[in-house]
Structure 1
Amino acid sequence: MEKVKVLNLSKGTIILEEAEVADNFFLRLKGLLGRSGLLPGKGLLIKPCKAVHTVGMSFPIDVGFVDKEGCICCQMENMFPNQFSPTVRKAKFVIEAPAGTFQMTETAVGDYIELIKI
C-alpha cells in the first residue's frame, strides 16, 4: 500500500509522518474499520472522497477535506464513532488522523498541504 507524509505548508508542520493511501474501492470501503486506534503521527488518506463516516469505529478521529489546490476546505475535529460528515463537494481527498492532531499541529481550514511519497 502506498504511504505518504502529510505536511502543512501554511504552518510549517508535519500533520502525519505516515498516512496509508486508500485509493481503490476496497481500501476506501474498509477505511479505518477493524482497527483499535491510530498511533500518533499515523493516519489514512482516502482518494477520491467527499464524505466519511465513523460507523463501526471505536475511536474518534480528526478529518480534513482537501480540494484540488491542496487547501483544507473543511475539517471535523474529534469526530466520534457512529457519526457522518457532511458531503464536501469541493473535496478531492480526505485525511483521517488521530483525534487531537489538528489542534496539536494548528491545522485549520484554509491551510495548504503537501503530500510526499515515502
Structure 2
Amino acid sequence: MDENYSNEGVEPKMGEKIIKQVSIARTPIFRKIYATNLNVTSTDSDFRIELFNEKFETDDRVLFHSDGLVILTNQAAKKLLENLSEKIDEYEKENGEILVDENRMKVDLSSK
C-alpha cells in the first residue's frame, strides 16, 4: 500500500490497514546527545544504553565520560535493534561497510 494513501471518508476493506498520520512533538526537556561509544546492560525489565563521549587512557585505566543513559522497555529495545539494523544496512549499501576499530570493541565496560 502506498504510504501517501489517504483513507479519509473511505471504509477500510476487511483486513486492510488503516494508516494514521504520525506527528512528533518535542517537549521542553528534549536534547540531543552525541556519543562516540556506548555500553549496553539489561535488567529483567529493561535495557540500558549508557552514552559516552570522551575517553582518557592511562597505563592501567581507560576512563569514559558518560553523558547520558537511555532506558528502554524490552519492546522498545527490540524495535531499536530492528530499526538500527535496517538503517545500518541502507547506509552500508550506499557508503560501504562501517569498520569499527578493534580497540573500541574490546574495551571491557562490565567492571565500571
**Same-fold call, TM cutoff 0.5:** no
Between Structure 1 and Structure 2, the one with more helix by share is 2
TM-score, normalised via structure 1 length: 0.22
Which has the larger share of strand?
A: 1
**Taking CA–CA contacts closer than 8 Å with sequence separation of 6 or more, which of the two structures ends up with the larger relative contact order?**
1
Please, what TM-score do these two structures have when normalized by structure 2? 0.23
